[in-house]
Amino acid sequence: MSEPAVAAASVGPGSILGGKYRLLRVLGSGAMGTVYAALHEKLGRDVAIKVLNAELGQHGDALVRFQREAELVTKLGHPNIVAVYDFGQCPNKAPYFVMEVVSGQTLRHRLEQGPLGDDEIIAVFAPLLSAVAAAHSAGVVHRDLKPENVMLVPRTDGHGAMPLVKLLDFGVAKIRQDREPEPATGAPDAGSAAKDVLATATGALMGTPAYMSPEQIKSTGSIDGRADIYAIGVMLFESVTGDRPFVGDTLAALLGSHLFGQAAKPSVVSKRNKVPARHIDTVRLDTVILRTLAKLPEERYPDCLQLRDDLDVVWGRRGLWQEASVGQAVSTRPVKRSPLGPSRWRWLVPLGLGLALVAALTLRTLSPQGFSSDSTPGKALTVMQTAQRGSLVEKRALALAIESVGRRALLPQLIELLRDENEPLRLLLPTVYALGQSGDDLLLAELTKRTSAAVGAQAIEAQAVRLRLGAQDAVPVLDPAAATETVTPEARLWAALALSQAGKAQTGALAKLRERLVRPGVQLSKGLRLLLLLELVRQGDAATEKQLREQAAQRPVTEASIDALLSLAQGGKTDALLTLTGLLGSVSGDEKPLVVLALARSGNATVLDELRKLLDQDAYRLRALSAVGHLGPSATSVEGQLVPLLSSSDAAVRLHAAAALIAIAEKESHVRRD
């Protein structure tokens, strides 16, 4: 392809930008800029670079909009939105930004081959809806959604044949908080003048005519996310039927069709085009698609997630749309469900009773059952159940108690917290990761429900925990997240940690990523930091072990040096445990209680007598309760001292004591379906 005339002056193949990027060839051009294949000469990394077109460089609005695109994409950091690495200016002051290279075919090229199959539609539109939802949650309206801006990247990870979706080009995106009105020029006339308006980003109309909502055509100044819903509806109609819902021989006719025409039912168009029969509820699909194409924004879906949930109903309520919402592989074709006839209603009651019985039996295996109400563990369970129904403060205290005690006996209470929509999901993720194991099906099911609407960094962190619980379909989400520089450091580390522990990452990958990301100024949660250290020690990472040993050797003994010894001991370093044990007889003052607590957390029950003393001291009571809980059934002799604490006026003390008593009373094998 020859270099377009609109490329920025003095910029083209062979040019060096920023002293490090060599432009190789033109990949494409549009109203806003020209995209080049390029090479980072110092790193040897292939990148794509978008340069603002020279003829628009004189327009201040275009420059602002171009720079905004780079800022917006960097801000979003979603696995299904193309990543931006760097920014800069050309020698002629034209701005550019550096993007990840995505190779494959656009949705436009795929549609040229015909309508999409049932599984293909999920594989493309579920992650697309997730990406657009992330943009909307950040206050960004794309305004130019079209098949040309949806890249289908072939998978190389062995997790399904369906492509990975990447959303491109936020060149005409709008920040909703700006609330600046669009130029109220109205719909243009047909002919070259109107064509010129649509060919440049400085015109009144923003977007591509075939996918443009009525309010964009009218330039009403009140464009919001429902304009993107409309464009998705047009693409969905086209993917299902092979035709667009609105057409016209001229630009004016096309815009008039969007403004005043009524789309035919997709099922009718599909039949006319002889599209193979689908294994879904096509009647419901007609209703869903036509709602996305409503002329008035208020008559469309209010957001992407409600649209996705209704599409899941079309596909038989199988949950496939939620599972694929951040790019997971899709391989199971749902079966169309027939309406229940009158003769089938008689089966509903026994079926419901049967399902209830199964659910009850499942819950029984996962709950500390069999406690009489007046027994010690029964009283503890009552305290925890009361907190589950209490205020947000009590629920948070319960969550902290479960995290602090950290025993699998507390999984039923953790599951109840997950079910509570008012409990922030992100606060629970480290605890679910630490306590959960592959095979905890009920825990995984509840987590999946909570994560279905998660976007951005939280979605990545949640997928990391899902992989910890055995959800292999999280791998295709985490692979690109761990390697994408626009993702937050904490989310990238979560992804790398989960992949590493699941054996899905190269040896040393986690250590290399931690070395790059854990630096001054990077904030990591305490739970993630501890999980990272423990995993790196278990992997035998020399740098991490050296760092901890240097910290452990510091004298005088401090809480930091004791914590370092505990991390080494929990990572399997027996000499560290021996050193920690030896400290018990050589330290005094404030350091001795800290050594006692560390030994208990490492599983050493010989310090129970010392723990008893700490339970009576306000300064150490909560940590002592946590340590007792870590010992589990080995701490049975302390039960009597904990019971009075169940009546404490301090919610934290009350719930820590309850959690410790449940941990003492319940063996881990009782809380899992083995």
Catalytic residue numbers read: 144
Structure tokens at 299: 């008559």
| CA–CA separation, 87 and 280 (whole Å) | 45
| CA–CA separation, 172 and 381 (whole Å) | 56
Backbone dihedral angles phi then psi of residue 367, each to the nearest 5 degrees:
-125, 150
Structure tokens at 141: 């309206």
| CA–CA separation, 106 and 149 (whole Å) | 7
| CA–CA separation, 224 and 215 (whole Å) | 9
| CA–CA separation, 26 and 628 (whole Å) | 65
The H-or-E segment that residue 105 falls in is: strand 105-106
Structure tokens at 316: 């038989």
For the stretch 339-359, what's the b/e string if a residue is b when 16 or more beta carbons lie within 10 angstroms of its beta carbon? eeeeeeeeeeeeeeeeeeeee
| CA–CA separation, 205 and 194 (whole Å) | 10
Q: Tell me the torsion sign for CA atoms 184, 185, 188, 194.
A: negative
Quick check: helix, strand or coil at residue 274?
A: coil
CA-CA distances (angstroms) from residue 450 to 82, 114, 423, 425?
26, 36, 10, 7
DSSP code string of 285-312 = HHHHHHHHT-SSGGGS-SSHHHHHHHHH
Of residues 522, 524, 457, the one with CA closest to residue 484: 457
The H-or-E segment that residue 495 falls in is: helix 489-501
Eight-class DSSP state of 56: G
Contact in structure between 230 and 293 (CB atoms under 8 Å): yes
| Encoded amino acid at 280, one letter | I
- The Cβ of residue 421 has, within 10 Å, a number of other Cβ atoms equal to 9
Biggest distance spanned by C-alpha atoms of the chain = 91
Peptide bond into 424 cis (omega under 30): no
Of residues 145, 148, 72, the one with CA closest to residue 104: 148
- Judging by beta carbons within 10 Å of its beta carbon (0-12, 13-18, 19+), is residue 406 exposed, middle or buried? middle
| CA–CA separation, 80 and 328 (whole Å) | 11
| CA–CA separation, 179 and 161 (whole Å) | 42
CB within 8 Å of 258: residues ≥ 6 apart: 209, 212, 213, 214, 217, 246
Return the ∠ at Cα 75 (arms to 136 and 490), rounded to 5°.
110
Of residues 87, 37, 43, the one with CA closest to residue 66: 87
Whose tokens are 């990247």? That residue is 153
329 conformational bin, left if phi > 0, alpha if psi -120 to 50, beta if neither: beta
Task: Name beta bridge partners: 175.
Answer: 140
| CA–CA separation, 285 and 233 (whole Å) | 11
Structure tokens at 78: 């979603």
| CA–CA separation, 277 and 258 (whole Å) | 28
